Amino acid sequence: MATLKEISNLTGLSSATVSRILNNDSTLSVKDETKRKVLEVAEKIGYKISSKINLQEQINFLALFNYSEELEFNDPYYLSIRFAIEEECKILDINLDKIYNSNIGSVEKKYDGILCIGQFNDIQIKKIQKISSNIIFIDSCNNKEFDCITADLKEISECIVDFFIQCNYKKIGYIGGRDFENILDEREEAFIKYSLLKKVVDEDNFYVGDFSSSSGYNLAKTMIDNNNLPDALFIANDSIAIGVLKALNENKIEIPNKIAIISINDIPASSFTYPALSTIKIHSDLMGKEAIRILKDKIESNRTMPLKITVPFSLILRETTKNTL
């Protein structure tokens, strides 16, 4: 009959450490690779592992996206989050299910943890809590009760406005989107407050639709038809900006001589637009990867204190800005 001593000899770990791993001791700090090695050796020599350990081996996570697969397919920012989540789950041997369009009603089982990608309202959050108490929000951080990992959109918005001010632009417009019609997007809210404070907001050129290129194109056409362009445009994301650039190019409006543009996300296409798009790079893949680790740690350590993680960003200057300070 296989014993702890045999596993200890084969793994090079003490019998006490082996026992704590096999008994799922959450206070033990060892690498996942070490845990996996112990479990593999135990199985190989026929050591009987309790059902509790088998459950620990197969953690089940649900990724709940508040947008459609079509939108994700057309937005590399969201694709990179999902790819990172899937890759990290493979590395850590975590089972992952995915649901789009916040379709919480279709969930028929409990999960060890839930990853919520995007914005969710209070009613949705209450429904999510019935599925699991272990929750992390990705790309949003509106509820302080839960773990979240996101970019600091307030700081990013102020960074863009400050750059335009340093370039001596006096009238800064905004084109953005909203997840919920009656709720201001964080970028929109930050821009309004900061540009008003700095007295550079162009209130005649403030447009909000959704986060698609087609929305950006239509809003830009409206702006052009009003025949009162701002000096510079803060655009909420690169997808919207691609549509805006199309409208401006069709009307032969020189960029950045007539209007400068900065957007957010630095998707791969942003360096191939005409002109190449100045934008804020957010490490969205880092959000997906670290979210898995944070959620797994919460479960294994029984942590109750919520964590807020902010990923870094950088301003990438290309051809839609004059880049002369």
Domains of the chain: which residue ranges?
4-56, 59-151+284-311, 153-282
Same fold, 59-151+284-311 and 153-282: yes
Gap between the Cα atoms of 320 and 267, Å rounded: 15
Q: From CA 179, how far away is CA 68, in angstroms rounded?
A: 12
Domain 59-151+284-311 = CATH 3.40.50.2300: yes
User: What CATH superfamily classification does 153-282 receive?
Assistant: Response regulator (3.40.50.2300)
pLDDT of residue 224: 97
The helix (H) or strand (E) run that includes residue 233 is strand 232-235
Task: Check residue 38 and give its pLDDT.
Answer: 86
Calpha distance 259→278 (Å, rounded): 13
Q: Helices (DSSP H) in the chain: which residue ranges?
A: 4-11, 15-22, 32-44, 51-57, 69-73, 76-91, 122-129, 153-166, 186-197, 213-225, 238-250, 284-301
pLDDT at 22: 83
Q: Are 209 and 219 in contact (CB under 8 A)?
A: yes
pLDDT at residue number 57: 55
Residue 147's pLDDT is: 97
Report field, pTM of the whole predicted structure over 0.85: no
The pLDDT of residue 53 is 42
- DSSP at 104: G
**Positions in the chain short of pLDDT 70:** 1, 26-27, 49-57, 323-325
Question: What is the rounded CA–CA span in Å between residue 272 and residue 107?
Answer: 40
In this structure, what token pair is assigned to residue 272? 């191939």
Residue type, 74: N
Return the ∠ at Cα 190 (arms to 188 and 193), rounded to 5°.
Answer: 105
Closest CA to 153 of 122, 189, 121, 203: 189
CATH among 1.20.58, 3.40.1340, 1.25.40, 1.10.260 for 4-56: 1.10.260
Indicate the DSSP class of residue 171.
Answer: -
